[in-house]
Amino acid sequence: MGSYTYFACARIAGQWQNIGSVKSFSVSAQSTSTTPTTSTLSASSMPSGTLAGWQQVWAEDFTRDAPTGSFRAAYPSIGDYGDGSPDTSRNGCYNNGANVSAHDGMADIHLRTVDGCPSGGVLVANNWKAQTYGRYSIRYRADAATGYGAAFLLWPASDNWTEGEIDFPESSFTQKQYMAVFQPGAPGVVAYKNSTNASWQDWHTATMEWTPGLIVFLIDGAEVGRTTKGVPTTPFKWILQAATDGASKPAPSVQGHLLIDWMTYSRRA
């Protein structure tokens, strides 16, 4: 922190001499706000159109501001589970009406206790529409809110777990992200799982490329996993779940934010 002065100089006849105008700049302390603003976002922009054999089906860049309580009306192409629905761990609930908003070009899921229930939110892409195979990309970051986490998953359109499941990224917000693929025909049996070095506290772009017989996982364009085991063959929908992580019930004082810069998915061209 402080003010600094600089100028151009050159060594002439063995002596340093000023050859430019004097300029100044100041450095201030970094903000400690718990809700990151546009200035903290990565410059990575949302892809559009056809990309290397993929045709975009749906995309959301969250350019419309939507205060808490108005997100559903502002973004009708994004579905959810309904306020008060129990989360996967049963330690908490989903509550989009109280927790989900949009500002500064991003969606914001506020993780916190509301009316005694540790709660988060859900974003269901393209209002529950499903497809077989596709490329799914999302840019995101989250605060290290102990007891909360997220799973971005592909889930059967039939809601029949025997068709399989693909999760990426997934984990508590205080842990590194991982991927998991569940075996079709054997609900709950993990066919493939792999960890990454990605932290939720950094901005990342996660991508799943699901094709016949193969799933490839990428973070920031670099492959972090792939599998030929457990690859589904039926239509799946894309769901982002943020709530309690199942390890323990979050303390009422704990809160944080999961921010989504953009999300998009494509079909094979």
pLDDT at 138 over 50: yes
pLDDT at residue 45, rounded to an integer: 84
Q: What is the pLDDT of residues 53-63, one digit of tens each?
A: 899 999 999 99
**CA 141 – CA 139 distance, rounded (Å):** 7
Beta bridge mates, 12? 15
Q: What is the DSSP letter of 162?
A: G
**How far is it, in rounded angstroms, from Cα 31 to Cα 195?**
32
Sign of torsion, CA 110 73 169 198? negative
Distance CA(185)–CA(189), nearest Å, equals 9
Per-residue pLDDT reduced to its tens digit, 186-226: 999 999 999 999 999 999 999 999 999 999 999 999 999 99
On whether the CB atoms of residues 171 and 242 are closer than 8 A, the answer is no
Four-CA torsion 257, 168, 182, 223, nearest 10 degrees:
-160
- Which tokens belong to 103? 């500002």
Residue range 145-166, pLDDT digits in tens = 999 999 999 999 999 999 999 9
